[in-house]
Structure 1
Amino acid sequence: MAWEPFRDFIPEDERNCFIAAYSKRLTSSDADVQIEAAKRWTTWEMMTAHLLQNHENIKRGEDDKFSLAFARIENHYFINKGFLDSDSHLLDNVDKIRHIKSFIVQGRYDMCCPMMSAWDLHKAWPEAEFKVVPDAGHSANEVGVAAELVSANEKLKGMLKK
């Protein structure tokens, strides 16, 4: 239900890289193409970000202005590989930040950022506190993820008081 509209907007010969294919359409000179691409991108994201679909968020994919801003920002970030030198930049440079008190919070059913990424980071950086939220997806707005993020911030705040 979510995947086909996202996929089918892109011609088969461009499906080897959806990020590039959507970038082309999100920056098209045709405003209608931009809006359609943005709506499909945003709806896909909103349909996959939560463990249990959040229908209010999914409706945001119908909003032209919101969808265009959301999809362009996210796609730009992906096109530029998060503005990092390589896919393994954080893992390759973890020694530079190892001394910083840190937390890794991962939703067990995150479809946007696979568990393996968080697990690999945790293995490379065991000093960082690692929490897997068993009943969450990707969104920081999910109850369990939000609770872990608040908990992490409270621990950091407590360090300031010492």
Structure 2
Amino acid sequence: MKTSEWLKAHPAKALTVTGDCSLKHAARLLLDDPEGRDLFVLDTEGKVRGHLGFWHVATLLLAKLHPTLSLRELIERITIGTVADHMDDQVMCAGTDEDIDDILYQHDLFQQHLDRRVEDIPVVDGQHRLLGVIRLSDLLREAISTDNGTLTD
């Protein structure tokens, strides 16, 4: 199935912010959306420029509760800055004509995506503008519902 077809069959709201957004605002967006785990940072033209995940935001904002941080580490985390200061600018994006299976089986890229705790795969057009996201949870639901005994119980 092509990513464009997936987006039509499984529409999912992409959470987006601009780079000058505060981390506090970003945290509110993530907390207000029960399925939201990823924020994509867009420029003024709607192009994907970065990613900021729930775990990263939580780690930054809850740093003062972490008793093993040095004073320097604590100060660095408390003087938080903007989303652009903390985003990951290496974002795996899919084009509209890509096949879902090809994305999943590009092991290196997809594994890096998972290692960074990114649960949404952004789908972009030819100008790198965000069109939607493919949620890992939706991919898992689909895999389970179409399983022919290949997944273990």
- Shared fold (TM-score, shorter chain, > 0.5): no
TM-score of the pair, normalised by structure 1:
0.26
**Greater share of strand:** 2
| Bigger radius of gyration among the two | 1
Higher relative contact order (CA 8 A, sep 6+): 2
Q: By percentage of residues, which structure has more helix?
A: 1
